[in-house]
Each structure stands twice: as C-alpha cells, then as structure tokens.
Amino acid sequence: MPCLASVSPLPRRAAPPAPPAPDYRRMVEAVEDDAIFMLDAHDVILSWNRGAQRPKSYEAAEIIGQHCSVFYPDEVRGTAIRSAS
C-alpha cells in the first residue's frame, strides 16, 4: 500500500531532487495549521513542517529520512513497503 499524497508523484530519477529554495522552505516551515511534508520517489520523507508535528507527533529530526510507512500500523507496514517497490 503506497503512501497517499495530495500532489502528483515525482518521476523516478537517478539523482535526488534539489532541496527547496530557502524562501519556500521558510514559508512552509512557518505554517502551523496545516501539515505539509514532501516525499521522494521512494516515499521517503524529505521535509516536515510544524503543522505536521501536531497530528503525527514526530519532530522533523525524527521523521525526515524515514519511509512514510511509519504512519501505518505494524500489521500492514511490511505490505506497504513491498508494494511500493
């Protein structure tokens, strides 16, 4: 079960995407009422704002670099990773 996102999936590419521009990053980090996070083509979390901390209870330093399957219960977690491969 792949992660669901409200944006189009990123195309698969060899090089990782460039980090967001500093102004964009500051704007996203300032938002506290909405959860905003970015996934790479392999569903790994690349960015995390304060708004995402509240419903998910993860600090940015804890969650960035993790696969989004951490949001699923243990009984379906392995299935999500295998089907995303």
In a domain, 45, yes or no: yes
Q: What CATH number does residue 48 fall under? A: 3.30.450.20
Whole-prediction pTM: 0.61
CA distance 70 to 24: 26
Q: Is residue 49 within 8 Å of 25, Cβ to Cβ?
A: no
Q: Tell me the pLDDT tens digit for each residue of 15-47.
A: 666 666 778 778 888 888 888 888 999 999 998
Taking the C-alpha atoms of residue 70 and residue 76, their distance in angstroms, rounded to an integer, is 10
Query: Token pair of 41, please?
Result: 């083509």
Assess if residue 10 is contained within a domain: no
CA 57 to chain centre: 14
Helix, strand, or coil here: 49? coil
The parent domain of residue 67 ranges over 22-84
Residue 2 has pLDDT above 90, yes or no: no
